[in-house]
Structure 1
Amino acid sequence: MISVLSSKDREEIFNTMTDFQIDVIMNHVMYRVKSELLTASFWKGIHWELLGVNYDRLYRKKLNQRKYKPSLYCECGRSLKYQYVVKSKETGEILELGKECFTQRTGIPERIAEEIYNSRNKINIFQDEILSAYKFRKRFPIELYNEIHLNKVDDKWSPYYNKKILDFKKANLPLFHRDQDKLENDLIEYKVRKRQLKRLLGVNFEVEYTENYVYLIKYMENRILNDRKLNQGERKKLIQDLYKISKAVNESISTDFAKLTANKRNLITVEYIDPLNVKIKNFNLSYKEALSESRNIARKIMDYANGKK
């Protein structure tokens, strides 16, 4: 349900929050708005890229009522409520602009500038969802998160998403409804998968895993469990191999990486590990090929660590 607040309502709720809570809301609201703008089709053929969308939540307050002085300005010197940061793809020039100067300084057509400027409506929608929930005393779902973290369900989240959830946890803020739904669904899926694995492999089977490098279980487990072309025996054997090889490969890489410099680790990750994870994620390899390539990469990294390459 979308809740739209008045400017007065927003200010009243913001005034009950800490600076850190406000920063968390604005940082993630801006990230979401920027992501939606960057994927919009109208950027095709435009020689500018959007670097950021900034918002001064206290723009209309008098200076003596503000916690801080105006910090957002246009290139022309005018203070701004909404600031758009763009970079020229041709020269690398970065401009911080308001609506009035956006079209004049960049040459971006007015209809597109208007669409970009209308992102302020999305900013309000996203932040108002959190503010409304906070006003009615909703806070971070700590019990749900603790169960997720205890069972390592968050190991499958992206680094950005994990940071986002931890930011909201630290600030004790309610989540966007989509994020709340994701946490609940992730936990449900984990419990369903755990029951499937226990039926397949026996009640004593441990589902826990840690994958810091090669993501075999993360990308392959559900595919194997739901692959109707496999019979029960084939499925059981592949799952057993999956857990055994994933543990061996990731522990081997971790041990060998400890012998290498950070620069060397980064090079090996880019050259070997990242391409393999992409192939596994996109299912460009058969089950057996994925397991075999994972072992081969662990051997190559061991050779690097022992000075053979």
Structure 2
Amino acid sequence: MDKIIALTRQQREAILQHLTANQVQALSEFTRYAMLSRFHTHHYLKQTDWEFQGMVIDPWYQRQHDHPGDNLYCDCGRRLKNQFILRSRTSGRQLFLGISHFQQHASIPQKVAREIQAGINEINLYMDSILLAYQAGRRFPQEIFQFIVDQQGFKNHEGTIFYQRCNLFSRVDLPLHQRDYQDLQTLYHQLKQGVAHRLTKKEIKQLRDDIATDWRQVDQQITMFNYLLRQHGLTVQDLHRIKSNSINYALQRRKTRFMIHDYKQFKDVTLTKARSQLAIKLRQLSFYLQIFQPNELAKVQCEQAQQILIAHKMSSPKSHFFGIKEAQILLKSKYTI
């Protein structure tokens, strides 16, 4: 059993100081994505009026005097490292909260808040092990990873956090957690031995569920972009036009106009269609990333979207699609008024 070592805030910051900006952002995205998965798996807010809409992490939170990004705040004005975004099911009201204010501002039971905090603590321990491995000189196992990629060994892992973490960490040369490294080695040796694993019905269902969860998290990122558009004064007609253009962009060069609009629909599609729907949703995310990139209106959200695309081995394109230019003009006109 691996020995669990928890770093103090000072120890964590001392190691983070040696990481590049891209490495810090990759760690931040891993933390955010792991927490999103917990929310979807454990249904923390199921018995409340609130639904979870997203999470933003300040990767530079500890650097009060050398902070290169934007600070995050709770609705009470307190500076945050982890900002949770909740929406009322009855009124549509949105809250931007730190975990310590779930009960005070949203009347969420203390027991639920403690469960969420326990999840954050567990993820922080996981991150600490990665930082300690980096401090000890370990880096990403590029040769093993590249062999698996070349042999299409990740074909049945696309919707998993494991696959996305490998993509993120390979890009910035961060070491994997020991359990992830062992999983990577197992996959490597199977491919070396020519073992062709056929998916069971249970594994197919699990993979489809993973893709559905992944799709849902990308959809929440798009929801956050749409919220920012509303905040900057775009009309209902403008928002509808932008959404329609985002769908047209996502479906470009596809033979079908079929597009899932609710993650629950995944239970009725084949694995091939599930993969296709995730690719469409990621392309839709890239549309929103492009319309916001020329300005600073959504710096944190754009950084998160870029990390999501990297995690899925997708580039961040610069398209001349008319809908992107139209949305940029609409956004600019509202921003300059």
Mapped partners of 1:28, 1:69: distance in 2: 18
* Aligned equivalent of 2:35: 33
Amino acid at match of 2:126: F
Structure 1 segments unaligned to the other structure (5+ residues)? 198-216, 224-259, 281-309
Amino acid at match of 1:3: I
Pick closer, same or farther for the CA change 1:139–1:9 going to 2, 3 Å: same
1:198-254 CA-to-partner distances (Å, cap 9, x unmatched) read xxxxxxxxxxxxxxxxxxx86379x9xxxxxxxxxxxxxxxxxxxxxxxxxxxxxxx
Contact kept? 1:59, 1:70, Cα under 8 Å: no
Amino acid at match of 1:122: E
Mapped partners of 1:187, 1:100: distance in 2: 43
Question: Percent same amino acid among aligned pairs?
Answer: 28
* Aligned equivalent of 2:185: 184
Matched residues, number:
221
* Aligned equivalent of 1:84: 84
Mapped partners of 1:188, 1:17: distance in 2: 31
Deviation at 1:169, TM superposition (A): 0.6
* Aligned equivalent of 1:292: none
* Aligned equivalent of 2:52: 50
* Aligned equivalent of 2:168: 167
Contact kept? 1:30, 1:123, Cα under 8 Å: no
Contact kept? 2:24, 2:59, Cα under 8 Å: no
Structure with larger Rg: 1
State which of 258, 276, 282 in structure 2 corresponds to 1:267.
Answer: 258
1:167-202 CA-to-partner distances (Å, cap 9, x unmatched) read 11110000122321221122233344x26x7xxxxx
1:29-70 CA-to-partner distances (Å, cap 9, x unmatched) read 221123123322543322212233444455455x4x323366
The equivalences for 1:189-228 within 5 A come to: 189-192=190-193, 194=194, 219=199
Amino acid at match of 1:45: Q
The equivalences for 1:114-125 within 5 A come to: 114-125=114-125
* Aligned equivalent of 2:239: none
Mapped partners of 2:154, 2:39: distance in 1: 28
Pick closer, same or farther for the CA change 1:148–1:219 going to 2, 3 Å: same
Matched position secondary structure for 1:95: strand
Contact kept? 1:87, 1:95, Cα under 8 Å: yes
Q: TM-score, normalised by structure 1?
A: 0.60
* Aligned equivalent of 2:15: 13
Pick closer, same or farther for the CA change 1:91–1:21 going to 2, 3 Å: same
* Aligned equivalent of 1:277: 271
Mapped partners of 2:259, 2:69: distance in 1: 47
Mapped partners of 1:176, 1:89: distance in 2: 38
1:99-138 CA-to-partner distances (Å, cap 9, x unmatched) read 4432122121122122223333123212101101100010
Contact kept? 1:156, 1:218, Cα under 8 Å: no
Mapped partners of 2:57, 2:271: distance in 1: 37
Structure 2 segments unaligned to the other structure (5+ residues)? 204-250, 275-337
Matched position secondary structure for 2:183: helix
Mapped partners of 2:97, 2:183: distance in 1: 36
Pick closer, same or farther for the CA change 1:269–1:136 going to 2, 3 Å: same
Matched position secondary structure for 2:103: helix
Mapped partners of 2:52, 2:43: distance in 1: 13
Mapped partners of 2:116, 2:259: distance in 1: 40
Q: TM-score, normalised by structure 2?
A: 0.56
Mapped partners of 1:164, 1:100: distance in 2: 28
Matched position secondary structure for 1:87: strand
Matched position secondary structure for 1:131: helix
* Aligned equivalent of 1:105: 105
Q: Report which structure shows greater RCO (CA 8 Å, sep ≥6).
A: 2
* Aligned equivalent of 1:148: 148
Mapped partners of 1:17, 1:269: distance in 2: 39
When the two chains are superposed, the root-mean-square deviation of aligned CA atoms in Å is 3.6
Is 1:131 aligned with 2:131? Answer: yes
Mapped partners of 2:129, 2:192: distance in 1: 29
